[in-house]
Amino acid sequence: MISSRWLRTLSFGSNIPRRIATKRSSSGSSSAKPALVAIDTKDGRVIGSSRFHGYDGDKSEVEIGWTFLARSHWGGRYNGEMKQLMLQHAFRFVDRVVFLVGLHNRRSQRAVEKLGGVRVGSRPGASGRDSIVYEITAATFAPGGPS
């Protein structure tokens, strides 16, 4: 089950259509990146962020990635809970969510697999480097599932 004890803020920019990005960033800037910001409600400290990218309405697809967590929150439930929240939101609007993970980034590969991601191939990521493509579809997604 997803806990919101540590999560207080969802902040989205304008690089994804309004139906995916429910709020503009606090700066209101059109160059802002859509992001979920995780804030520990105990002390108000930002503990991480993740964002949507590459929305493709024709393919009914969006990418989730660029996730960062404070080292103090590695290995726990935080990454899984952030991704579960983002997946639940995304599947209101698309049929497929993809994750592009570096070929040698075993920690992130395992994290996406724990979410239910299935390896479906490879392609260059935003940096131009080859990445493994994982997907989760609306049909296979289990809200509140493994995290």
CATH of the domain at 75: 3.40.630.30
Dump pLDDT digits (tens) for 71-102. 988 888 888 888 999 999 899 999 999 999 99
Q: Whole-number mean pLDDT of the chain?
A: 78
**Is 62 a member of any domain?**
yes
pTM of the model: 0.76
In a domain, 101, yes or no: yes
Q: Where are the beta strands (DSSP E) in the chain?
A: 9-11, 35-39, 46-56, 61-69, 96-102, 118-124, 130-137
Q: What is the DSSP letter of 137?
A: E
Angle at 37 between CA 14 and CA 62, to 5 degrees: 50
pLDDT band at 108 (very low <50, low <70, confident <90, very high): very high
Domain assignment of residue 143, yes or no: no
Q: How many domains does the chain have?
A: 1
pLDDT for 23 equals: 35
**91 token code pair:** 């599947």
Q: Is the pLDDT of residue 22 over 70?
A: no
